[in-house]
Structure 1
Amino acid sequence: MKDLGLEKFQDTVAGCLVRHKSIIDVLTKINETSARVNRAVSKSVTSCGCIQINAKKQQVPAEISLYELVSYMDTHVQGKLCDDCKEIIEQEIGNHLFYLAALCNILGLNMKDIICNENEKLSTLGIYNLS
């Protein structure tokens, strides 16, 4: 797929958002789509089984540097998403991005600027950006 660009996506969302144009509607839809992403990931574990979650306490040695910490942290995910689960999760994330773009439109924010600013902050602060 060709690079669409965030500004084009945000413009497309502006043209498609009809029913849920109120900020209250958009905020509740963001919560709903976030829950749907969580549910889709959970179903990949509980219904499909293509991935597993093996959650346990992170084991971090006491005398390591912050730079070494990343090699000790675990995602707790084992396996790989099957094509069906991947498609469903991508669709749910896409819906979530739609409402994030809608929120940006309502508030007069530019998603590209937000992402560029966040990237700049991450690039500058690196691992010290532990927020």
Structure 2
Amino acid sequence: MHDNKCCLDFQSIVDDYLIRHRSVLDVLTKYQETSARVNRAVAKAVTGCGCIQVSAARQSVPESASYSELKEHMSSHLLGETCPQCREVITKELGHSLFYLAALCNLTGLSLHEVMQREYKNVKTLGVFHLS
């Protein structure tokens, strides 16, 4: 119940303060823009600050690995931890993205909490196949 109140409160305040970009087209493009800013903030943590590094290579999973062991063999390709400054920027950009996600939920008459609950159930039920 607490999670639902948090989402409802957030959606309510987003609705109160979303004035300039109230058109669904504005919200869609602002959501896309904020997503790009999240990507940029992570990229700048790598290329500008250097607090994290990307070390990407083909995922190497032993053929004998069971499904339950797969996670142990998969890499995020990230090395290091975000510094406080980069963490702050990424957090800010994720917050802006959440703002426009909540705005899109408001405009389409959806509950952010219900969307999250539904996806949670899908992931829990379908596991690795949920994104297929």
- Give the shorter-chain TM-score range: over 0.9
- CA deviations 1:59-114 (Å, max 9, x no partner) are 11223222221111000000000000000000000000000000000000000001
- CA deviations 1:8-46 (Å, max 9, x no partner) are 100100000000000000010011001100000000001
Name the counterpart of 1:84.
85
After superposition, where does 1:6-85 map in structure 2 within 5 Å? 6-85=7-86
Give the alignment's Cα RMSD to 1 decimal: 1.6
Cα distance, 1:34–1:20 mapped onto 2, change above 3 Å: same
Q: TM-score, normalised to structure 2's length?
A: 0.92
Runs of 4+ in structure 1 off by over 6 angstroms are none
**Structure 1 spans left out of the alignment, 5+ residues:** none
Q: TM-score, normalised to structure 1's length?
A: 0.93
Shift of 1:130: 4.5
Name the counterpart of 1:97.
98
Name the counterpart of 1:127.
128
Q: How many equivalent pairs are there?
A: 130
Shift of 1:126: 2.6
Identity %: 50
Structure with a larger share of its residues in helix: 2
CA contact (8 A) 1:51 1:78 kept: yes
Give the match's secondary structure for 1:127.
Answer: helix
Distance in 2, matches of 1:87 and 1:44, equals 11
Give, as a single letter, the amino acid of the residue that structure 2 aligns with 1:42: A
